[in-house]
Structure 1
Amino acid sequence: MSNQNTRYLSRSAAPKYFSDIQIRAFHDPNARHHPGSHSGTILRTVAWNNLGSRIATGGAGGNVKIWNPEKADVRSSTDLKGTGLQTTEKVQWDPTHAERLASCGVGDSGVVKFWDYRTAKATQDIKTGGDNYSLSYHPDAYVVAVGRKDNKIKILDLRQNAVVNTIDEGNDTTFQTTFSHNGTIILQTHASGKVVLRSYPSLEIIYTFNAHTAGCYCLDISPSGKYIATGGNDALISLWDTTDWVCLRTFDKSDHPMRSVSFSFDGAFLVAGSDESMPISMMHVESGEYVHEIKANYPAHAVAWHPSKYVIAYTGEVLRVTGAGSFSS
Structure 2
Amino acid sequence: MAPPLRSRTLKKNELPTFLKPLKPVLFSESTSRPSPLVQKISSISWSPTGSLLATCTSSSIRVWHSDRPNVKTSIELKNAHPKGGVAFGSQGVSGDVVEKVAFSPTTENVLASSGFDGMVRLWDVRMPSGNAATAGKGTAAADCRVGGEAVFLTWGPNGTEMLVGRKDDVVHSVDVRRITSTDLTPQYELSPERLMEKGSTTYYGMAFSNGGSEVFATTTDGTVQILDYPSMRLLHTLSGHSGHCYAVAHSPTGTHLAVGSADGLISLWDTHTWLSTHSLSAPSQTTSIRDLSFSFDGSYLIAGAGINEGKDGGPGLNIYHVDTGEVVHTLDTTNCPTHVAWHPTRYWIAFAGDPGGLKVLGSGTAL
Q: TM-score, normalised by structure 1?
A: 0.90
Q: Is the 8 Å Cα contact of residues 263 and 270 (structure 1) preserved in structure 2? A: yes
CA-atom RMSD in angstroms: 2.4
Q: State yes or no: 1:320 paired with 2:359.
A: yes
Q: State yes or no: 1:101 paired with 2:111.
A: yes
1:175 corresponds in structure 2 to: 204
1:87 corresponds in structure 2 to: 97
Q: State yes or no: 1:124 paired with 2:142.
A: yes
Q: 1:250 to 1:73 in 2, by over 3 A?
A: same
Q: State yes or no: 1:76 paired with 2:73.
A: yes
Q: Which deviates further from its counterpart, 239-248 or 291-300?
A: 291-300
2:13 corresponds in structure 1 to: 12
Instruction: Please show how residues 30-69 of structure 1 align to structure 2 within 5 Å.
Output: 42-60=40-58, 62-69=59-66
Q: 1:239 Cα deviation (Å)?
A: 0.5
Q: 1:5 to 1:143 in 2, by over 3 A?
A: closer
**Which of these residues, 337, 340, 346, is aligned with residue 300 of structure 1?**
337
Q: Secondary structure at the match of 1:86?
A: coil
Q: 1:327 Cα deviation (Å)?
A: 7.0
1:310 corresponds in structure 2 to: 347
Q: 1:327 to 1:176 in 2, by over 3 A?
A: same
1:261 corresponds in structure 2 to: 292
Q: Which deviates further from its counterpart, 120-129 or 154-163?
A: 154-163
Query: What is the aligned length?
Result: 317
Q: Is the 8 Å Cα contact of residues 236 and 257 (structure 1) preserved in structure 2? A: yes
Paired AA for residue 25 in structure 1: L
Paired AA for residue 289 in structure 1: E
Instruction: Please show how residues 115-194 of structure 1 align to structure 2 within 5 Å.
Output: 115-118=123-126, 119=134, 120-167=138-185, 171=195, 173-194=202-223
Q: 1:4 Cα deviation (Å)?
A: 9.7
Q: Is the 8 Å Cα contact of residues 21 and 325 (structure 1) preserved in structure 2? A: no
Q: 1:196 to 1:41 in 2, by over 3 A?
A: farther
- More strand per residue: 1
Q: 1:176 to 1:5 in 2, by over 3 A?
A: closer
How far apart, CA to CA, are the structure 2 residues paired with 1:83 and 1:5? Answer: 33
Q: Is the 8 Å Cα contact of residues 18 and 324 (structure 1) preserved in structure 2? A: no
1:270 corresponds in structure 2 to: 301
Q: 1:325 Cα deviation (Å)?
A: 6.1
Paired AA for residue 109 in structure 2: E
Q: 1:211 Cα deviation (Å)?
A: 3.1
How far apart, CA to CA, are the structure 2 residues paired with 1:202 and 1:181? Answer: 17
Q: 1:238 Cα deviation (Å)?
A: 0.9
1:240 corresponds in structure 2 to: 269
Q: 1:326 Cα deviation (Å)?
A: 1.2
Q: TM-score, normalised by structure 2?
A: 0.81
Q: Secondary structure at the match of 1:300?
A: coil
1:26 corresponds in structure 2 to: 27
How far apart, CA to CA, are the structure 2 residues paired with 1:10 and 1:324? Answer: 20
- Cα deviation digits, residues 176-196 of structure 1 (max 9, x gap): 111111111111111111101
Q: Secondary structure at the match of 2:25?
A: strand
Q: Is the 8 Å Cα contact of residues 113 and 124 (structure 1) preserved in structure 2? A: yes
How far apart, CA to CA, are the structure 2 residues paired with 1:135 and 1:261? Answer: 15
- Cα deviation digits, residues 259-288 of structure 1 (max 9, x gap): 111110111111111123421111111122
Q: Secondary structure at the match of 1:307?
A: coil
How far apart, CA to CA, are the structure 2 residues paired with 1:126 and 1:283? Answer: 38
Q: Is the 8 Å Cα contact of residues 190 and 217 (structure 1) preserved in structure 2? A: yes
How far apart, CA to CA, are the structure 1 residues paired with 2:30 and 2:211? Answer: 41
Q: Secondary structure at the match of 2:152?
A: strand
- Cα deviation digits, residues 12-33 of structure 1 (max 9, x gap): 1222222112310111128x99
Gaps of 5+ in 1: none
Paired AA for residue 77 in structure 1: S
Paired AA for residue 362 in structure 2: G
Q: Secondary structure at the match of 2:246?
A: strand
How far apart, CA to CA, are the structure 1 residues paired with 2:104 and 2:282? Answer: 34
Q: 1:168 Cα deviation (Å)?
A: 5.1
- Cα deviation digits, residues 79-138 of structure 1 (max 9, x gap): 1233224322211111111111101122x2x11111012224311111111111111111
How far apart, CA to CA, are the structure 2 residues paired with 1:6 and 1:70? Answer: 16
Q: Is the 8 Å Cα contact of residues 236 and 252 (structure 1) preserved in structure 2? A: yes
How far apart, CA to CA, are the structure 1 residues paired with 2:54 and 2:185? Answer: 28
Q: 1:277 to 1:75 in 2, by over 3 A?
A: farther
